[in-house]
Structure 1
Amino acid sequence: MTVPPALTPVLIERLERAVLRKGRDALLRAAALPDNPYAVTVTQRGDLLAYRVGTLPHLPWYNTMTGVSEATLPALDEVLALYAASGIPPSLSVWATHLSPVLGAALFDRGLTPRGVGITLYAVARTPGVVSVPGVTVRELAPGGEVEVFESVLLGGYGFTHPVQQALAVLENEGPGVRRFLALVDDQPAAVGTLTEHDGIAYLAGAASLPMMRGLGAQTALIRTRLATAAQSCELVTVTTAFASRSQQNLEKNGFRVAHLKTAWALRDSLG
């Protein structure tokens, strides 16, 4: 199994740009829809990037600030005030490479506290020695093709019920430059995943499996297929998931290793 290059702060920045680009572009497209129906606002102050979705004010992953570091502290209070004026409690994503005693104290002084940990992994873009999984077939969907099937599996796997959350999930995973993959188990739609590319790095996202189809190897097949696809044009592959999750275990079995951790911070009085 090919070993990824050694981690450096520069490499971590490249990996995270590939991750951030997909979500940012989706929310910018949402904000540009006629009359901005989901009340999406994207604010940038230097490296500090903040998203607000007024129709989903209490879902932290849609109301997140990234690029939080000692260098962006001067802009932090202004952006926090925008959230307060909107009545939206923000979630701040702080990378392991940016967290320091100074930054931690500054966030605590502003009423923030850690509430969770996420992880970014990376691997060399390559064709695995074994791509197929018994009983599982994976195919890439043509742009604009099989939309109903893809959306049904995506939303069924995510379990989203709020119509705005469903709309934004579809918008993010069917946008320009997003390659969509469908896994079938015994010829039945079971799982989906997506792939985007930026600066020689492929980003794997949109992983969702129908509840009754989990544990049958569909996501393993999707990981391997997208690794092989990425090998055609990319140097590395990155992905994000919950720390110490089954997803992380599955990714590490297929050649991924930890790039870094991200702590999510929230206002103490918003956690009840």
Structure 2
Amino acid sequence: MNDPIRQLARAEATAHGRGGTRAEFGPLVAAHHGPGLPLNSAWHDGSAPLTEADLLAFEAFSAAHDTPATLHLLAPSVNDALPLLTARGYALTYVLHAFTHDLHDLPPAPTLDVRRSDDPDGWAALSAQGFGPGSEAVMRVVAHLPGTQLYQANVDGQAAGTAALSLTEGVAALFGTSTLPGLRGLGAQTALLAARLHAAHAQGAALASVFATPGSASERNIRRAGFGLTTLRLTFTRAG
């Protein structure tokens, strides 16, 4: 595993354990945030191969919280883990592209009005308007996670988009990006990307990361902001 990917895996796993009920099982960092939330999962930190004992302990943790055993790995860790995951009944359920951006080379500052939000519940409500019905509970948890910085973009004085940022071990994670219906295509997402990259650089981060669905409009905006495809994030869930 090369250094940027190892750095990304470690930072994401560390950040994943903030808030909720946290537990570690070898290289897995698991968290449970509440019934039925997709945030209930584990991250592989890239530090060591996954063992059957690690998986059994994580599965017991998941069962104790009445949630499916779901874990995220970056692509370089998958080859070693796949035989064990298959034997334990896990199936690939989701793939995201993982992008990184060297913060020594920043895009132009945003031209739209982008500002920090100090209202987590208001931010979550706006974010849910962009993500769609049923997302507000998740975004409320995201908004209250320790270390999360919240941003809002405005178009002509009207809230148009939301996004979040957190810094871990020199890596700035960009997430929670949402554009409100009727205000898409006006540059809100591009402005939120640029604003967070500049903010992360100002706070001493050297690398920024963001995940995107392959082929999505968000991915096109991410590439235009100067991010490069670094690896894949693969999500596995145990059947039954």
Q: If the length of structure 1 is used for normalisation, what is the TM-score?
A: 0.76
2:91/2:239 contact within 8 Å kept: yes
Alpha-carbon distance between aligned partners in 2 of 1:150 and 1:229, rounded to the nearest angstrom: 18
Is 1:228 the counterpart of 2:198? The answer is yes
Q: Give the AA of the match of 1:46.
A: G
Q: Give the AA of the match of 1:77.
A: L
In structure 2, do the counterparts of structure 1 residues 127 and 146 end up closer, same or farther at CA, with 3 Å as the change threshold? farther
Q: 1:26-84, CA deviations, whole angstroms, 9 ceiling, x for partnerless residues?
A: 32xxxxxxxxxxxxx4321222222335521xx5x323122286343332123223434
Alpha-carbon distance between aligned partners in 1 of 2:179 and 2:113, rounded to the nearest angstrom: 14
Alignment partner for residue 20 of structure 1, among 13, 19, 40?
Answer: 13
In structure 2, do the counterparts of structure 1 residues 146 and 127 end up closer, same or farther at CA, with 3 Å as the change threshold? farther
Is 1:260 the counterpart of 2:231? The answer is yes
Question: Cα distance, 1:208 vs. partner?
Answer: 1.5
Is 1:78 the counterpart of 2:57? The answer is yes
1:19/1:239 contact within 8 Å kept: no
Task: Report the aligned-residue RMSD.
Answer: 2.5
Alignment partner for residue 111 of structure 1, among 83, 89, 112?
Answer: 89
Is 1:152 the counterpart of 2:125? The answer is yes
Identity, % of aligned positions = 26
Question: Cα distance, 1:15 vs. partner?
Answer: 1.7
Alpha-carbon distance between aligned partners in 1 of 2:64 and 2:108, rounded to the nearest angstrom: 53
Matching residue of 2:39: 62
Alpha-carbon distance between aligned partners in 1 of 2:133 and 2:154, rounded to the nearest angstrom: 21
In structure 2, do the counterparts of structure 1 residues 82 and 132 end up closer, same or farther at CA, with 3 Å as the change threshold? closer
Consecutive unaligned residues in structure 1, runs of 5 or more = 1-7, 28-40
Alignment partner for residue 93 of structure 1, among 72, 75, 99?
Answer: 72
In structure 2, do the counterparts of structure 1 residues 261 and 85 end up closer, same or farther at CA, with 3 Å as the change threshold? same
Is 1:50 the counterpart of 2:43? The answer is no
Q: Which has the larger radius of gyration?
A: 1
2:73/2:235 contact within 8 Å kept: yes
Consecutive unaligned residues in structure 2, runs of 5 or more = none
2:13/2:44 contact within 8 Å kept: no
1:137/1:183 contact within 8 Å kept: yes
Question: Cα distance, 1:175 vs. partner?
Answer: 4.1
Alpha-carbon distance between aligned partners in 2 of 1:168 and 1:112, rounded to the nearest angstrom: 24
2:143/2:150 contact within 8 Å kept: yes
Q: Give the AA of the match of 1:95.
A: L
Q: Give the AA of the match of 1:13.
A: R
Q: 1:110-168, CA deviations, whole angstroms, 9 ceiling, x for partnerless residues?
A: 112212212221101157453234xx321223xxx34564233122222243xxx6345
Alpha-carbon distance between aligned partners in 2 of 1:160 and 1:128, rounded to the nearest angstrom: 34
Q: If the length of structure 2 is used for normalisation, what is the TM-score?
A: 0.85
In structure 2, do the counterparts of structure 1 residues 62 and 129 end up closer, same or farther at CA, with 3 Å as the change threshold? closer
